[in-house]
Amino acid sequence: MDLFAERGFDQTTVADIAARAGLTERTFFRHFTDKREVLFYGGQLLQEVMVAAVAAAPPDATPLAVVAAAVGAVAPAFAERRPGALVRQGIIEAHPELQEREVGKLARLAQAVADGLRQRGVPDPAARLAADAGVAVFRAAFAQWLASADRDMGSLIEECFDELIALAEAGR
């Protein structure tokens, strides 16, 4: 992360990273599947929390309510993390390949949530749509959270959910 911030992503070779960490290039690739993966390490935790929340939601809950609970469940993990998240986002936004990885992770997350919904009996395409809607809300809330200082991720998520529902109710 330090190296990426110092010289930029492509100006940093894996050999550089390994050297800075006092390891071999080969060892780096035993810990990270990818050079990009450095920036997304720990993202799996997000998915696990959300999937668990989907499974733990009350049986009679509406699909969107389940998804809202799942997205809300990850909000606490963002407290106090804004400074680090800002530099990370700065690096990602400067590199399309990194944005690809990011949305790829979110797509896998949506996939997992959709699977969880299907296990609760929600049929397609509703399961897929609800999961994708949840990820959309997460992305919108995350963007707001980065843009505005001192706003709570939890309340931003709630607001974005309300906004989405308002959009839908305005109809087409």
Partner DNA sequence: AGCACTGATGTCAGTCACTGTCATAACCTA
Partner DNA sequence: TAGGTTATGACAGTGACTGACATCAGTGCT
Task: List contacts with DNA (CB under 7 A).
Answer: 12-15, 22-27, 29-31, 33-36
User: Reduced to 3 states, what is the DSSP secondary structure of residue 171?
Assistant: coil
The binder of 12, among a second copy, DNA, none, by C-beta within 5 to 8 A per type, is: DNA
130, 69 Cβ separation under 8 angstroms: no
Tokens of 105: 């992770």
Residue 110 to residue 105: CA distance in whole angstroms:
9
The binder of 60, among a second copy, DNA, none, by C-beta within 5 to 8 A per type, is: none
The binder of 31, among a second copy, DNA, none, by C-beta within 5 to 8 A per type, is: DNA
Burial classification of residue 137, based on how many CB atoms lie within 10 Å of its CB (0-12 exposed, 13-18 middle, 19 or more buried) = buried
The binder of 29, among DNA, a second copy, none, by C-beta within 5 to 8 A per type, is: DNA
112, 132 Cβ separation under 8 angstroms: no
Give 35's DSSP letter: S
- Map residues 36-75 to x or -, x wherever contact with a second copy holds by CB under 8 A: --------------------------xxxx--x-------
Span near a second copy by CB under 8 A; candidates 8-16, 24-32, 84-92, 158-166: 158-166
Q: Distance from CA of residue 37 to its chain's centroid?
A: 14
Nearest distance from C-beta of residue 74 to a second copy, angstroms:
16
| Alpha-carbon separation of residue 13 from 36, 59, 65, 87, 133 (angstroms) | 11, 50, 44, 19, 37
Q: What does the binding site for a second copy look like in residue numbers (CB under 8 A)?
A: 62-65, 68, 96, 99-101, 103-104, 106-107, 124-126, 128-130, 132-133, 135-137, 139-141, 143-144, 159-161, 163-165, 167-172
